[in-house]
């Protein structure tokens, strides 16, 4: 009798615990998860940082796997960061679930307010921070207005102190935020280092514990704090504060099926089949399951690990390993093939293979394939806005030529080898960074196209921005 009574007590206890976990898990599966992730590394007027873009990309990938719709931005200017926050705020209002903001890059506290520093910011002193940066108060306000169940703000900053004198260095605590979990890479008022590996210490361990089964958000950051403190010999101690009153798991708890099966088998069978649903980004991507012929939506599958293949023309085909034991609803995202937009935009009329250059006078280099003659050294020009850049080239006199002009985006884009250093240092002596082209942005006359010569990627920006200049003539 005593043995049977113990069996019943254990069974009822485990059933109650299982139902409690199921209620939490089912609620989380159906709620909206939206994240804005920003990584700023290539600053024009501040120290260039090694890891923020790596950290942001890693966070983007792990959050997407955890069911977040991710808005992602690299090397954001002030305008682009504000536009991304606006998009984030609008998306948050569509649901009452989870909102998350992650930022890696330079940050500063001034008069108790935290500011994110855009890559295009020129801030000669603290008094210009407010007008040239983006306040975290904007993000907090957007989160509070959305009335989400839980909001999460993660600041992997300050990587270094841009204003070492007359500033506290580091960021201030957000004491007024309500319903928000706030996590810093280091304690308020302290400065976090950029790190020597591919990821900063904080984000390295954050990714690790986000992916660990069954950790509440509090336990995730407790483990991160412990490991960062140990790895930095106490030099960097992450800090967090919370005003949330609910539970949140990045990775939902798994049921202990072995124990439950041995005890609960007399009361009912464990689910052996699942009917998975797959949401793809883009929505019209093709889904295939390896080992399952003619899979169709609504088909039941045995519990286990499956390899899912997602494909679409113009996108990189990807394979995902999915465990039907842990979930039956998945979001799978694939990405456009690299440079596809630029190839369509600028065509491929100009040769993109190995370059053949020769010297022309002291200050000019000829591309022997296209016949274009380029300015060899632009160190004297510095940075200029778009109008100034055009005038500079038009007035330039080098090697007995006065017919110089600002190059078009197509000309400058194909100056070097795609995917490698775009400039041959045996011939050119050019500054690393973004360069103006003479090509306006058709959809907005106040913008023009620019290109990063050492990365072969292009973008558009305001003509008032200060970028490098490179001149050419035929």
- Per-residue pLDDT tens over the stretch 210-257: 999 889 999 999 999 999 888 888 888 888 888 888 889 998 887 543
On the question of pLDDT at 101 being above 90, the answer is: yes
Going by pLDDT thresholds of 50, 70 and 90, the confidence category of residue 27 is: low
- What is the Cα–Cα distance from 286 to 455, expressed in whole angstroms? 32
Give 179 or 83, the one with higher predicted confidence: 83
pLDDT for the residue numbered 456: 59
Lowest mean pLDDT among 193-207, 299-313, 438-452: 193-207
Q: 12-26, 152-166, 243-257, 433-447: which has the highest mean pLDDT?
A: 433-447
Going by pLDDT thresholds of 50, 70 and 90, the confidence category of residue 347 is: very low
Query: Which residues are CB-neighbours of 27 under 8 A, at least 6 positions away?
Result: none
pLDDT for the residue numbered 233: 83
Place of tokens 């008069």: 111
Lowest mean pLDDT among 102-106, 171-175, 393-397: 171-175
Number of residues that this document lists for the chain: 474
Q: Please state whether beta strands 107-110 and 113-116 pair in parallel, antiparallel, or not at all (unpaired).
A: antiparallel
pLDDT for the residue numbered 341: 40
* Cα distances (Å, whole numbers) of residue 73 to 39, 49, 175: 7, 16, 27
b or e along 278-307 (b: 16 or more beta carbons within 10 Å of the residue's beta carbon)? bebeeeebebebeeeeebeeeeebeeeebe
Q: Where are the domains of the chain?
A: 21-242, 272-333, 341-473
The DSSP letter of residue 271 is P
Query: Residue 242: which of 190, 174, 187, 189 has the closest Cα?
Result: 174
Going by pLDDT thresholds of 50, 70 and 90, the confidence category of residue 344 is: very low
CATH of domain 21-242: 3.40.50.1460
Query: Residue 243: which of 328, 140, 161 has the closest Cα?
Result: 140
The structure tokens listed for 227 are 């490991």
Average pLDDT over residues 409-429: 68
pLDDT > 70 fraction of the chain, expressed in percent and rounded: 75
The structure tokens listed for 207 are 């990714």
Give 282 or 303, the one with higher predicted confidence: 282
Tell me if 472 sits within 8 A of 396, measured CB to CB: no
- What is the Cα–Cα distance from 271 to 75, expressed in whole angstroms? 47
pLDDT for the residue numbered 163: 55
How many Å is the maximal CA-CA distance in the chain?
107
Lowest mean pLDDT among 80-89, 324-333, 453-462: 324-333
Average pLDDT over residues 387-414: 88
The DSSP letter of residue 377 is B
Average pLDDT, the chain: 77
Give 324 or 239, the one with higher predicted confidence: 239
Average pLDDT over residues 440-465: 82
Query: Which residues are CB-neighbours of 37 under 8 A, at least 6 positions away?
Result: 56, 59, 60, 63, 70, 71, 72, 73, 102, 103
On the question of pLDDT at 372 being above 90, the answer is: no
Task: Reply yes or no: is the peptide bond before residue 72 cis, omega within 30 of 0.
Answer: no
pLDDT for the residue numbered 167: 43
Give 94 or 305, the one with higher predicted confidence: 305
Tell me if 41 sits within 8 A of 75, measured CB to CB: yes
Q: Which helix (H) or strand (E) holds 251?
A: none
pLDDT for the residue numbered 34: 92
- Per-residue pLDDT tens over the stretch 148-207: 889 999 998 864 455 543 344 555 455 545 678 999 888 766 666 655 567 888 998 999
On the question of pLDDT at 279 being above 70, the answer is: yes
Q: 352-361, 405-414, 431-440, 448-457: which has the highest mean pLDDT?
A: 431-440
On the question of pLDDT at 455 being above 80, the answer is: no
* 3 state DSSP class of 374: strand
Quote the pTM value.
0.51
Q: Assign domain 341-473 to its CATH architecture.
A: Roll (3.10)
């Amino acid at each position: 009798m005593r043995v049977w009574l113990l069996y019943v007590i254990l069974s009822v206890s485990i059933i109650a615990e299982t139902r409690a976990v199921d209620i939490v898990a089912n609620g989380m599966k159906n709620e909206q998860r939206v994240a804005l992730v920003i990584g700023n590394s290539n600053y024009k007027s501040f120290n260039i940082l090694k890891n923020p873009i790596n950290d942001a990309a890693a966070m983007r990938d792990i959050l997407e796997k955890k069911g977040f719709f991710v808005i992602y931005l690299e090397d954001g200017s002030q305008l682009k960061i504000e536009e991304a926050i606006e998009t984030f705020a609008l998306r948050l209002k569509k649901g009452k679930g989870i909102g998350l903001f992650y930022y890696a890059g330079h940050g500063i506290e001034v008069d108790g307010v935290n500011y994110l520093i855009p890559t295009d910011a020129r801030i000669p002193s603290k008094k210009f921070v407010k007008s040239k940066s983006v306040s975290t108060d904007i993000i907090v306000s957007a989160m509070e207005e959305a009335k989400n169940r839980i909001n999460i703000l993660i600041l992997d900053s300050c990587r270094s102190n841009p204003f070492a004198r007359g500033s506290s260095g580091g960021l201030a605590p957000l004491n007024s935020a309500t319903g928000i979990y706030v996590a810093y890479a280091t304690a308020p008022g302290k400065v976090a280092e950029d790190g020597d590996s591919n990821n900063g210490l904080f984000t390295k361990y954050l990714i690790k514990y986000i992916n660990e089964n069954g950790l509440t958000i509090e336990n995730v950051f407790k483990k991160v704090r412990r490991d960062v403190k140990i790895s930095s010999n106490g030099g960097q101690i992450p800090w967090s504060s919370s005003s949330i009153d609910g539970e949140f798991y990045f990775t939902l708890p798994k049921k202990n099926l072995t124990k439950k099966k041995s005890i609960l088998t007399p009361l009912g069978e464990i689910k052996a089949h699942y009917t998975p649903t797959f949401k793809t980004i883009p929505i019209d991507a093709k889904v295939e399951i390896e080992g399952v012929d003619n899979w169709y939506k609504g088909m039941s599958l045995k519990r286990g690990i499956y390899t899912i293949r997602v494909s679409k023309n113009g996108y990189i085909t990807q394979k995902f390993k999915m465990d039907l034991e842990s979930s039956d609803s998945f979001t799978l995202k694939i990405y456009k093939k690299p440079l596809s937009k630029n190839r369509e935009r600028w065509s491929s009329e100009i040769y993109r293979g190995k370059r053949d250059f020769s010297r022309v006078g002291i200050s000019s280099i000829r591309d022997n394939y296209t016949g274009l003659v380029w300015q060899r050294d632009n160190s004297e020009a510095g940075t200029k806005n778009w109008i100034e850049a055009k005038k500079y080239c038009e007035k330039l006199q080098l090697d007995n030529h006065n017919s110089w002009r600002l190059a078009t985006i197509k000309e400058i884009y194909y100056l070097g080898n795609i995917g490698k250093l775009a400039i041959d240092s045996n011939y050119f002596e050019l500054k690393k960074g973004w360069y103006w082209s003479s090509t306006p942005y058709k959809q907005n006359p106040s913008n023009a196209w620019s290109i990063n010569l050492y990365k072969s990627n292009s973008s558009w920006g305001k003509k008032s921005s200060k970028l490098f200049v490179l001149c050419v003539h035929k």
